[in-house]
């Protein structure tokens, strides 16, 4: 069955294999998460589970959020996320999902918001080449032509130009689980993960 969990990115480090090779890994604190709602085709039109993460004080939630959680006697949680599933009969409301449901060597998909870098230019955002740096040249980091003149007389949508860079939902697929610490709910995954340390990430197995 497909397992979905929420967690927090801790940071990056490296581990060494027996042959001495170095592997960059990301440390993630995953769960424990609680199932707050189960959706079925008969009631909602599709099969899904909603999980909650990071238990908090009731005073930090509004009445709508508390009313939703109180329907299933769920504790106040800060984050909610929904995962599509095939068979909702395998899950129960109030069920706890933790790193114990993961295994070393499995591949997971990790989704998070990439680091926002603000308004960026052409070279940084789209890897454009710069202009000549010689004396008298005035187009060092200019965009150049952005389209024809009279025909069509406009700039086509999707033209690569300067703009907001980063801060978007990004998914990295097939990251291998290198190690699991069940006591502290930590896992090590090979490679990098979107976002800054402390950001919320979502993982899903297949």
For 129-184, the pLDDT digits (tens) are: 999 999 999 889 999 889 988 998 999 999 999 999 999 999 999 999 999 999 99
* Confidence at residue 206, expressed as pLDDT on a 0 to 100 scale: 67
Residue 63 resides in a domain: yes
Same domain, 61 and 134: no
Instruction: Describe the chain by its helix, strand, coil percentages, rounded to 5.
Output: 15, 40, 50
205 has a pLDDT exceeding 90: no
Residue 30 resides in a domain: yes
Same domain, 107 and 189: yes
Residue 151 resides in a domain: no
Tell me how many domains the chain contains. Answer: 2
Residue 147 resides in a domain: no
Residues 188-195 have a mean pLDDT of 95
Instruction: Please calculate the CA angle 200-204-206 and round it to the nearest 5 degrees.
Output: 170
2 has a pLDDT exceeding 80: no
Same domain, 125 and 26: no
Domain that holds residue 110: 4-117+170-205
Q: Which residues of 103-121 are buried (b: 16+ CB within 10 A; e: fewer)?
A: eeeeebebbbbeeeeeeee
């Amino acid at each position: 069955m497909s397992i979905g969990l929420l967690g927090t990115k801790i940071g990056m480090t490296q581990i060494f294999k027996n042959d001495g090779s170095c592997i960059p890994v990301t440390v993630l604190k995953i769960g424990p998460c609680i199932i707050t709602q189960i959706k079925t085709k008969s009631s909602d039109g599709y099969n899904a589970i909603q999980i909650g993460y990071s238990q908090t004080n009731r005073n930090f939630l509004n009445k709508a959020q508390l009313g939703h959680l109180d329907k299933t006697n769920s504790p106040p949680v800060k984050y909610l996320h929904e995962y599509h599933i095939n068979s909702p009969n395998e899950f129960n409301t109030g069920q706890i999902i933790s790193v114990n449901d993961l295994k070393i060597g499995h591949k997971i998909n990790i989704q998070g918001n990439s680091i926002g870098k603000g308004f960026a230019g052409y070279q940084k955002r789209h890897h454009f080449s710069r202009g000549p740096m010689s004396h008298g040249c005035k187009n060092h980091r200019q965009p150049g032509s952005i389209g024809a003149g009279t025909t069509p007389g406009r700039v086509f949508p999707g033209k690569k130009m300067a703009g907001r860079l980063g801060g978007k939902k990004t998914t990295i697929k097939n990251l291998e689980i290198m190690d699991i610490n069940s006591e502290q709910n930590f896992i090590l995954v090979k490679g990098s993960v979107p976002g800054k340390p402390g950001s919320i990430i979502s993982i899903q197995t297949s």
